[in-house]
Amino acid sequence: GQSLEQPSEVTAVEGAIVQINCTYQTSGFYGLSWYQQHDGGAPTFLSYNALDGLEETGRFSSFLSRSDSYGYLLLQELQMKDSASYLCAVPLNNQGGKLIFGQGTELSVKP
Amino acid sequence: DAGVIQSPRHEVTEMGQEVTLRCKPISGHNSLFWYRQTMMRGLELLIYFNNNVPIDDSGMPEDRFSAKMPNASFSTLKIQPSEPRDSAVYFCASSSSRADTQYFGPGTRLTVL
């Protein structure tokens, strides 16, 4: 079957760096995505990794290691507004379709 | 662009009633997805359409749930009859042909009493 594992919650202070991990088990692999969701609002796309390595977009970076079935989201210079749930997701095919989401990691940023 | 539009934003109904949720995807997107989110089960894909055709409905919980996409700019998710365990936030999302990015609507918070 397909599954994704991520920690349920992480706490960090403003200005710090935090890493949110995601491990996956899938029969085929087509990439790893990250979404941000504020308190019951719409999930919004953050990043996508299809190949190994680090992708940087401003304060957020995402890393993938296909050999370890593992990825992480790195948030730098944390701000209070970064408090949200972060979900990793994998597509089950390469045809723009079915995404399986992790349960989400609740990030709390403290002053 | 207005983004994905869903209506209603909130729905409170009684057990046994029919519920219809509506979605307008982003113009030009050819894939549409219906998700359900609960604390217990997280974000689950119910069904998705490609070019208005249902591709995978394996996530639809049972026959009480049905979804249609009569044209490229409109889709409905219907629950008949509704039950308290259907209470959840239902999201609609759309995407273009790329597999990596889905755009979510604001969701419909459904409460079945």
* CB–CB contacts below 8 A, A to B: 61
Q: Decide if A51 touches B, using CB distance below 8 A.
A: no
Q: Which residues contact B6 (CB under 8 A, 6 or more apart)?
A: B21, B22, B23, B24, B90, B91, B92, B105, B106, B107, B108
Task: Tell me how far apart the alpha carbons of residues B4 and B22 are, in angstroms, rounded to a whole number.
Answer: 11
Are A98 and B102 an interchain contact pair (Cβ–Cβ within 8 Å)?
no
The torsion defined by the Cα of A108, B38, A25 and A23, in degrees rounded to 10, comes to: 0
Q: Decide if A28 touches B, using CB distance below 8 A.
A: no
Mean of the per-residue pLDDT values of chain B: 94
Q: Give the residue-averaged pLDDT of B104-109.
A: 97
Task: Tell me how far apart the alpha carbons of residues B82 and B113 are, in angstroms, rounded to a whole number.
Answer: 9
Bridge partners, residue B90, by sequence: B36, B108
* pLDDT per residue as tens digits for the range A73-84: 999 999 999 999
Are B89 and A40 an interchain contact pair (Cβ–Cβ within 8 Å)?
yes
Q: How many CB atoms lie within 10 A of CB A79?
A: 11
| Per-residue confidence in pLDDT tens, chain A, 111 aa | 778 999 999 999 999 999 999 999 988 888 999 999 998 799 999 999 999 999 998 999 999 999 999 999 999 999 999 999 999 999 887 766 788 999 999 999 999
- State phi, psi for A66 to the nearest 5 degrees: -70, -30
Say if CB A78 and CB A86 are below 8 A apart.
Answer: no
Nearest by CB to A101, from B42, B56, B98: name it. Answer: B42
Window from A18-22, B74-78, B81-85, B100-104 with minimum mean pLDDT:
B100-104
Above 70 in pLDDT, residue B99? no
Residue A67 gets which letter from DSSP? Answer: G
Predicted local confidence at residue A111, as pLDDT? 94
Above 90 in pLDDT, residue B60? yes
Say if CB B93 and CB B48 are below 8 A apart.
Answer: no
Mean of the per-residue pLDDT values of chain A: 93
- State phi, psi for B107 to the nearest 5 degrees: 90, 155
Residues of A in contact with B55 (CB under 8 A): 97
Above 90 in pLDDT, residue B107? yes
